[in-house]
């Protein structure tokens, strides 16, 4: 039987921290390490989920916009761990943060729908990794949302290309896609607009 002190500690943790977030990250990485093989940097990695009552919008019908981005945290942690990229960044005292994202919602993800999120490295430059994620409903294999994600390496004294070479020697950077190029151009325009101020 739980003591009042233990119960109070649990309540305090849930009030001041998003405990489920940390538990999900630990589960996602732990499951990957125990049951999945390491991935090459260009291979798609996959995590699974289900749209539950805590994920839906005010009308209780489909996943709300914020939950898509939250799910991407788990997908990125999983990709970084399975590919070995984050371990290499950490060895050099660096980290990675979300620099930007662009989400295109194609069709709503209804409540209680099982889905998967795939993650794939599609490009990199000297300071950033660019990932593409797809939310796919398992019942019909339909891509419900597509997300481009810019992951900025922080605290590194070497370019991202050196990290990639260490993780997968001989890896060749892909050609930039038209979609990614347009997105990068739009971010540059936005950056210039704010620099003028």
pLDDT in tens, 63-116: 999 999 999 999 999 999 999 999 999 999 999 999 999 999 999 999 999 999
Q: Which residues pair with 98 in a beta bridge?
A: 151
> Residues 181-195: what's their mean pLDDT?
92
Residue range 3-35, pLDDT digits in tens: 888 989 988 999 999 999 999 999 999 999 999
The residue with tokens 């090459």 is 40
> Max alpha carbon distance in the chain (Å)?
62
* Percent over 70 (pLDDT), the chain: 98
- Is residue 50 within 8 Å of 112, Cβ to Cβ? yes
Q: How far apart are CA 150 and CA 183, in angstroms?
A: 10
CATH fold of the domain at 36-196: Thiol Ester Dehydrase; Chain A (3.10.129)
pTM of the model: 0.92
Q: What does the pLDDT read at residue 3?
A: 87
What does the block give as tokens for 99? 């620099």
- Is residue 44 within 8 Å of 79, Cβ to Cβ? no
Q: What does the pLDDT read at residue 1?
A: 56
Q: What does the pLDDT read at residue 197?
A: 62
For the chain, domain boundaries: 36-196
Angle, CA 164 vertex, CA 158 and CA 166 arms, to 5°: 80
The residue with tokens 């990695």 is 45
> Residues 187-193: what's their mean pLDDT?
90
The number of residues in the chain equals: 197
Among 118, 117, 104, 107, residue whose Cα is nearest residue 62: 107
Residue 64 has phi, psi (to 5 degrees) of -80, 160
Please state, as a whole number, how many other Cβ atoms lie within 10 Å of the Cβ of residue 25: 15
């Amino acid at each position: 039987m739980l003591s009042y002190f233990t119960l109070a500690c649990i309540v305090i943790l849930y009030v001041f921290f998003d405990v489920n977030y940390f538990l999900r990250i630990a589960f996602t990485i732990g499951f990957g390490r125990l049951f999945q093989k390491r991935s090459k940097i260009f291979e798609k990695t996959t995590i699974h989920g289900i749209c539950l009552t805590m994920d839906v919008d005010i009308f209780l019908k489909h996943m709300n916009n914020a939950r898509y981005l939250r799910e991407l945290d788990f997908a990125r942690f999983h990709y970084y761990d399975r590919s070995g990229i984050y371990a290499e960044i950490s060895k050099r005292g660096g980290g990675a943060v979300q620099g930007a994202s662009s989400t295109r919602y194609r069709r709503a993800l209804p409540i209680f729908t099982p889905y998967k999120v795939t993650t794939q490295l599609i490009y990199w430059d000297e300071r950033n990794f660019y990932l593409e994620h797809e939310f796919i409903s398992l019942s019909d294999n339909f891509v419900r949302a597509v997300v481009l994600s810019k992951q900025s390496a922080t605290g590194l004294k070497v370019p991202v290309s050196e990290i990639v070479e260490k993780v997968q020697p001989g890896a060749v950077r892909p050609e930039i896609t038209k979609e990614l190029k347009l997105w990068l151009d739009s971010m540059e325009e936005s950056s210039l607009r704010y620099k003028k101020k």
